[in-house]
Each structure stands twice: as C-alpha cells, then as structure tokens.
Amino acid sequence: MSILAAVAVPHPPIILPEVGQGEEKKIAKTSAAYQEVMQRVAALEPDTVVITSPHATMYSDYFHISPGKKAMGDFAAFRAPEVQIEVDYDEAFAKTLAAKCMQEDLPAGFLGEREPSLDHGTMIPLYFLQPELTKPVKVVRIGLSGLSADVHYRFGELIRETADELGRRVVFIASGDLSHKLKADGPYGFAKEGPVFDHDVTEALDRADFLSLLTINHDLAEGAAECGLRSFWIMTGALDRQKVAGELLSYEGTFGVGYGVAYLKPLGEDDSRDIGRQLLQKEKKDIEALRAKEDGYVHLARLSLETYVRSHVVLPVPKDLPEDLQDRRAGCFVSIKKEGRLRGCIGTLAPGRRNLAEEIICNAVSAGMHDPRFPQVTPEELPRLVYDVDVLSEPEPIDSPKQLDVKRYGVIVQCGERRGVLLPDLAGVDTVAQQIDIARRKGNIGAKEKYTLWRFEVTRHV
C-alpha cells in the first residue's frame, strides 16, 4: 500500500506563534488537531510527502510540479523572517510523475515555475510535521489548476501509480483553507454560501464521501471564496479504489475563514470506490437528463454549435421550428457552461438577423468560438456542454439604480461608445451596486466617469 494516509489541513500563517503573537490561541483546536494528524503521519514513517498547495505555482490549464533538488522559504511576508523551512525534493518521484502525465497527455510538469521559494501553503504543514519526524522525509510540491474535477482526480491516481512504481511509502497532504467568507467582520466579509460550503466539505471529509467532494456546486464554491477544494480533489484520486476511513478532527471559523483538519486512512482495496468513473457517469446522466428536457431554443443553440464545431458550417435554419423562432425578431444571449463554469457567452441587445432562430444560431457559434475570454470549443468538449438562451426585451433607459432589480432586470451601462452588459439573476450577483459595477467594468468604464443606465428583461430558456 503506497499511499499510507492523507490529510486535509489549512494554512493560516496566524496559527504559528511567531506570527500570531498570541492570536493563535483563538484557534487552539485547529493547532491541537494539526499536531495530532502530523504525529500520526510521522508514526507511519513515510519516505515521501506529496503536498498540493493553492499558493504554489498555479495555472488555469496545467499542474506545476516543483523541480530541483531542494527548496526553502521563510515567513518574512508575515513579519517572522526567522521562521524558515527547508526541504529536499524527491526528484525521482517528480520526474516519474511528470513522465506518466506526458504519456497520458495530462497537462502537468516542470514548466513555468514563477517562484522557487516554498509558499506558506506548503510550509505550514511542514512546520507541524518536521518536528515529529524521526527520519528525513522528501517532498513533492504541486500547484493546483483550473481544470475539471475529473482531471484533478486522474492526476491523483497518477500520483498513486508513481508511488507504487517506485515503491515509495507516501503520505498525501492536501493543503487548503475552506470558505474565506464566514463573518461580516472578517477580512473578506460574509457570503451566505460560506457556511454551507464548509458544512458540505467537512461532512464529506468526515465520511470520506469523495463523490460529494468532486460534485460540489461550482456557484457554491465560488460564492464561498474557497481555496482548498482542488487540493482535496487530487487527494481523492490518490485514494482511488480504496476503502477509506475519514475523520474530521476539528473545524473552526474564528477569523472568518474556515479551517478544517481531517485524516483519511486507507483500509485496503475496494473496487466499488472507483469514484473517478462514478463522477463521469453521474455527469453523463445529468447532461442526458438536461438534453431530454431542453426546449426548442436551447436545442437550436446546441445544434448550431455542434454543427459548426464538427463541420465548420453554419447551421441552416431548420424548417420545423416553433413560430416564435421563425416570425419574431429579438436580441438574445447564448451562454455555455462546462462543469458548472462559464465556457462562453455572446449576445445581441437588439435583433440583427431576419428572425430569432438566426439570432440564436449565430450567437451560439460566437459564444463557443469567438468569446475572447476562452479558447474555441473543441469536438471533445461538446458532450459536456450545457446551454442557456436568454431572449431580451427591448432595452429602456432609466434615471436611477432604484429602477433596477437584479433578479428581474439586466443592465446596460453606457458611456459614449463604450458599454457593458450584465444579464439578470446571475449567481453571485446579489445587489444592484454589484450588477452595475460588473457591467461598468465589462465596458471598460471608469468608476468616476458619467454613464447612463438601461434595463431590460429576459425570458430564460435552460
């Protein structure tokens, strides 16, 4: 058994007495739990510790594995330069892992290191672990990515396969705080998603319910402003097909940020816990259910993009469409999501085509192929995409933000030729002030510039 155990731990610098200067006593339960799990880890006498950290080098589409023989860092950024951590890297492990990823075309390796010094998300677990060790332990440090949950899971599987191949005794440390928005007087404020996210994640860790961790709602995670979820995703893959005993040792949110400490112990092979396959199967069933319920508007948007991506031909207007699509002219937006995250959104405020059907067809292609925020949709992605179509009423000018309602109205913020648009009823947009600010920034309009406001309603097809 190459993966001896896994731990999920937070990384608040204030937990160090040298940084906290007494404030660390307010999270004494977290400190005690941290010491307990690291004593357990040391007792296992691992050869290698794999640490995933959201504060190591991170890319949206790539897992960075720290290269080299050794690294060090300190807490000078937290006014404690005397606290220093030094590690020897397990070069053979890192190189073997990178080679396995290359063979599978999984985007991971040594490219693009931006900061060779150890980050605090790596150092704080080591601060607690190193004093407990009776023999030297090498480290593999890995950054997270913006890739999907199933890719993180597969990366974790490759970590375990590497440990098996090299005969390493490995402990996996998933470094990551939970929600950063638990208290109104905290450093990041309060969001209603924060406590819900922390409850769901800590429950899943305690039960070793990996499928729940991997399928946490994206809007919930984003609203909670978490940082550790992707660390936990990789950890679940490292424990693939293992019966696992989970134990949540502590949870605190004293400073408005969630700190959870969990210990996960593999108990032997269990083929029923092939969670990566279950994740893909669940996603497939969920999308099939959506496809079965989609109306003519959403079906037309999906058919348009699928036709263009596969054949590079614009879909002709089908003949069997509802009259509203053939006879009506209106602006519309087509939004595309993948695994709950926006994958493209393009629209028109006023009709520019002969009918609404043509408007949807063209905007669907633009959303998938020409949204400058995203790469073009590939054929392999098509089965995993979800579509929304918003049909707009004619925009009307308004005199005051008081005439807006984030649930009912979209907004247009205009200054000269520049304008920004935001649709209504979007996750994470809870106030009119937020709505206007986001639209203003989308239009590259300065906060002190004079602008006019327009509102519109939408009929949303999902």
**Domain-embedded: residue 406:** yes
Say yes or no: 333 and 250 in one domain: no
**Domain-embedded: residue 278:** no
> What is the pLDDT at residue 320?
87
Q: What percentage of the chain has pLDDT greater than the value 70?
A: 100
What integer is the mean pLDDT of 135-149? 96
**pLDDT tens digits along 388-399:** 999 999 999 999
What integer is the mean pLDDT of 65-86? 97
> Among 291, 278, 302, which Cα is nearest to 149's?
278
- C-beta separation of 195 from 179 below 8 A: yes
**Domain-embedded: residue 23:** yes
Say yes or no: 357 and 328 in one domain: yes
Say yes or no: 387 and 444 in one domain: no
**For the whole model, what pTM was predicted?**
0.91
How many other C-beta atoms are found inside a 10 Å radius of the C-beta of residue 184?
9
**Domain-embedded: residue 223:** yes
Say yes or no: 256 and 145 in one domain: yes
Say yes or no: 165 and 208 in one domain: yes
Which tokens in the block code for residue 127? 């601060």
**Domain-embedded: residue 277:** no
**Domain-embedded: residue 279:** no
**Domain-embedded: residue 138:** yes
Question: Three-class SS of residue 337?
Answer: strand
Say yes or no: 206 and 93 in one domain: yes
Of 337, 363, 392, the last residue of a domain is: 392
Q: State the CATH number of the domain containing residue 341.
A: 3.30.700.20
- C-beta separation of 205 from 246 below 8 A: yes
Q: How many CA atoms lie within 13 A of 322 on its CB side?
A: 10
Q: What percentage of the chain has pLDDT greater than the value 90?
A: 96
Say yes or no: 236 and 324 in one domain: no
Say yes or no: 388 and 399 in one domain: no
**pLDDT, averaged across the chain:** 96
> Among 393, 450, 394, 392, which Cα is nearest to 418's?
450
> What is the pLDDT at residue 8?
98
What integer is the mean pLDDT of 16-25? 97
Task: Check whether 255 has a pLDDT greater than 80.
Answer: yes
How many other C-beta atoms are found inside a 10 Å radius of the C-beta of residue 341?
12
Tell me the Cα Rg of the chain.
25
State how many domains the chain has.
3
Domain range enclosing 130? 3-272
What integer is the mean pLDDT of 423-439? 93
Secondary element (H or E) of residue 178: none
> What is the pLDDT at residue 275?
97
**Domain-embedded: residue 118:** yes
Q: State the CATH number of the domain containing residue 50.
A: 3.40.830.10
Of 272, 306, 330, the last residue of a domain is: 272
**pLDDT tens digits along 112-138:** 998 899 999 999 999 999 999 999 999
How many other C-beta atoms are found inside a 10 Å radius of the C-beta of residue 401?
14
Say yes or no: 83 and 152 in one domain: yes
Say yes or no: 335 and 200 in one domain: no
> What is the pLDDT at residue 193?
96
> What is the pLDDT at residue 242?
97
**pLDDT tens digits along 259-279:** 999 999 999 999 999 999 999
Residue with tokens 């990789």: 234
What integer is the mean pLDDT of 286-303? 96
Task: Check whether 173 has a pLDDT greater than 80.
Answer: yes
Say yes or no: 103 and 247 in one domain: yes
pLDDT band with cut points at 50, 70 and 90 for residue 352? very high
Say yes or no: 108 and 20 in one domain: yes
Of 392, 425, 444, the last residue of a domain is: 392
pLDDT band with cut points at 50, 70 and 90 for residue 428? confident
Task: Check whether 340 has a pLDDT greater than 90.
Answer: no
Q: How many CA atoms lie within 13 A of 293 on its CB side?
A: 11
**pLDDT tens digits along 186-204:** 999 999 999 999 999 999 9
Question: Three-class SS of residue 182?
Answer: strand
Distance CA 75, CA 79 (A): 7
228 CB-contact burial (10 Å; exposed 0-12 / middle 13-18 / buried 19+): buried
Task: Check whether 1 has a pLDDT greater than 80.
Answer: no
Q: State the CATH number of the domain containing residue 406.
A: 3.30.1490.150
